[in-house]
Amino acid sequence: MKYLAEFRDGQTARSLLTEIKAITTRPWTIMEVCGGQTHAIIKSGINQLLPAEITLVHGPGCPVCVTPLEFIDKAIYLAGRPNTILTTFGDMLRVPGSSESLLSRQSEGADVRMVYSVLDAIRLARENPDKEIIFFAIGFETTAPGNGTALIQAKRLNLTNFSMLTCHVLVPPALRALLSGETGRVDGYLAAGHVCTITGLTDYKTLCHDFKVPIVVTGLEPVDILEGILHTIRQLEDGRANLENCYTRLVSDEGNLHAQTTLREVFKVCDRNWRGMGTIPESGLSIAEPFKQWNAEIKFDLSHISAEESGECIAGLILQGLKKPSQCLSFATDCTPQKPMGATMVSGEGACGAYYKYSRFLQSTTTT
């Protein structure tokens, strides 16, 4: 399959590993920003095949994982309203809120439905004019344009029974927050290629310049990731700190201009609370004034809902690359995909879920 098989090719992966080993002379720590990259790394065993000098740590690029508890609680509250259909993507259903999840609320009788696209929610609104249809929208710059397009469509159709609870987040401000932190443990970053497909590269070049750190844009397949690691190590060994694009088959300098126009039309940049990481300035997108009629937070006044995160779950530290899932005392004991204590265990891009699925019997080789 073009653009897939060649990026999973074992011989190519072995050649890249050989090259990485040949040029690595001292310890380096690299963060893969995206949860999809984390899953690919753990699934393919890249973390075990790299030279001992290279440590991979996992970043905040899992949209389900970084959605704060209070938004889960808001969605659960909305699902309990009479005459309401709460729609969202499948990953969100099992994320624990303060006391329950959307799935448990569904089992109690609430009309919670998993959809594959926000357009399914629009269709439900057209088919059920006597009900309120609410779409719980989360995600990075990748999913926001599609949700923005749905809001434009809702406005065009004058769909008064449709609204959206949005918790969109932006990657570059989160990276800036990590780079500005005190920890200083990460030497280089693998940026998420699919996010850069939308945003382009300007913000990432600024981060390289401001923090003198190499950032390499990569895809989600094993060969993509190994190529990204090789380019990062080359820069680190040479003392360079540049933005490199290894995902040229999809990412251009300017990104997707049409998607960017939609984002500017429908959303405005806002401060956003990230689960386990606190409030990061200008790191979120909220619904702009011309579309406020479709903003569920305004329509149903959710200002009274707030939530305190549990102290037992260390997902916040994992999302900042400070801990690994296997260092959590609850990992694979009190916390499993069947009985999750945090979003990182249930999300398809969550680091805890990746460790549980692919390496929980290999803990001794994956904890460092």
How many CB atoms are located within 10 Å of the residue 19 CB? 16
What's the CA angle centered on 110, arms 104 and 111, to 5 degrees?
Answer: 115
Question: For residue 78, what are its two tokens?
Answer: 């909305």
Site for ligand SF4 in 331-350 (CB under 6 A): 331, 335, 341-342, 344-345
- Residue 32 C-beta: closest distance to ligand SF4, Å: 17
Could you tell me if 34 and 61 are in contact, meaning their C-beta atoms sit under 8 angstroms apart?
yes
Q: Does 352 bind ligand SF4 (CB under 6 A)?
A: yes
Residue 256 or 330: the one with the smaller Cβ distance to ligand SF4 is: 330
Q: Which is nearer to ligand SF4, 50 or 65 (CB)?
A: 65
Q: Which is nearer to ligand SF4, 296 or 315 (CB)?
A: 315
- Least gap, CB of 62 to ligand SF4 (angstroms): 11
By beta carbon distance, the residue nearest ligand SF4 is 342
Distances (CA, A) of 53 to 23, 281, 301, 323, 365: 11, 34, 52, 18, 14
Question: How many residues bind to ligand SF4 according to rule CB under 6 A?
Answer: 14
**Least Å from the CB of residue 315 to ligand SF4:** 4
Q: Please give the Cα distance from 189 to 203 (Å, whole number).
A: 14
3-state secondary structure of 175: helix
Does 124 bind ligand SF4 (CB under 6 A)? Our answer is no
Q: Which is nearer to ligand SF4, 192 or 314 (CB)?
A: 314
Q: Single out the segment in contact with ligand SF4 by CB under 6 A; choices: 47-55, 77-85, 224-232, 330-338.
A: 330-338
| Rounded least distance, CB 58 to ligand SF4, Å | 11
- C-alpha to C-alpha distance for 282 and 350, rounded to whole angstroms: 24
Residue closer to ligand SF4 by CB (options 184, 311) is 311
**277 lies in the site for ligand SF4, by CB under 6 A:** no
- Verify binding: residue 328, ligand SF4, rule CB under 6 A: yes
- Dist. CA 232–CA 189, nearest whole Å: 7
189 binds ligand SF4 (CB under 6 A): no
DSSP structure class, residue 303:
T
**Which residues, in sequence order, are CB contacts of 275 under 8 Å at separation 6+?**
65, 66, 67, 68, 69, 309, 315, 316, 319, 343
Pairing of strands 54-61, 28-34: parallel
Q: Which H, E and C letters describe 337-358, residue by residue?
A: CCCCCCHHHHCCCCHHHHHHHH
CB 111 within 8 A of CB 143: no
The footprint of ligand SF4 on residues 288-327 (CB under 6 A) is: 313-315, 318, 325
Q: Output 61 or 188, the one with its CB closest to ligand SF4.
A: 61
* 126-134, 255-263, 279-287, 328-336 -> range binding ligand SF4 (CB under 6 A): 328-336
**What is the binding site for ligand SF4 (CB under 6 A)?**
313-315, 318, 325, 328, 330-331, 335, 341-342, 344-345, 352
